[in-house]
Amino acid sequence: MTPEPGPIRAVAFDLDGTLLDTLPDIAAAADAMLVAQGRAPVGAAVVRGFIGEGIATLVKRLLTGEIDGEPDPAVLEPALAQFFEGYFAHLSVHTRPFAGMSALVERLAERSVPLACVTNKAERFTRPLLAAHGLLDRFDVVVGGDTLGVRKPHPRVLQHTAAALGVAPEALLMVGDSVTDVRAARAAGTPVVVVPWGYTGGEPAEALGADAVLVSAEELQTWIAARLLASDRISSSLVR
């Protein structure tokens, strides 16, 4: 049984499926790539189950229809280029923050809680997306899937994030939506909670093995406030 998480000093948020509902624009780029490859579009429901381990893995899954599929490199290379071009051109047409999440990030930042965005999406997509929704300047650290040469669930991702924020790994909370986030946190020794509105790969949020499943931004805010190693003024102001 996983021990109850202790006090925290900093928070890391996943991007896709946690902060932002990026699925509509990802699915549009995915279907455009498939059509350019002479294949049938698959739609958002299929794409949703393939998100979580970076664009290269997403494109491999789209081309093969398998979670661990490995397409012919001669097919993969142009497909990746087509996806990158299409997605970057329409990065935030329909993407929106999930309810209450922007306000939660703002509230934490205003109270000087160290914050990171930790995602498997490449930084060249992550930073413009955060900027488009007024969030980039709220994060002290942004770690993309191409920042370190490894990506979640590798433990170095969250270990690096904790060090960059000036806290021990056990004092960094990971907030995510998928088993990748949970595995990264367990490997790095950080507490982890998940939200149920994201892209879980078809698994219910309760089955991901997180310390808690928090069903709204308000519930997440209360959970974080109760565990912040901060002054009474900061922690109490978070729950008002």
Tell me if residue 11 falls in helix, strand or coil.
Answer: strand
Which of the following is catalytic: 14, 21, 177, 211? 14
Bridge partners of 96?
21
* DSSP of 169-189: GGGEEEEESSHHHHHHHHHHT
E strand or H helix at 96:
strand 96-97
Which residue, chain included where needed, has tokens 């790969």?
201
Tell me if residue 194 falls in helix, strand or coil.
Answer: strand
Q: For residue 24, is the peptide bond before it cis, meaning its omega torsion is within 30 degrees of 0?
A: no
Kindly list the distances between the CA atom of residue 36 and the CA atoms of 28, 49, 174, 203, in Å, as whole numbers in the listed order.
12, 22, 37, 31
List the structure tokens of 116. Answer: 């990171």
| Closest C-alpha among 140, 164, 179 to residue 52 | 179
> Catalytic annotation on 14?
yes
Please work out, in degrees rounded to the nearest 5, the angle formed at the alpha carbon of residue 25 by the alpha carbons of 24 and 28. 85
- Residues that are catalytic: 14
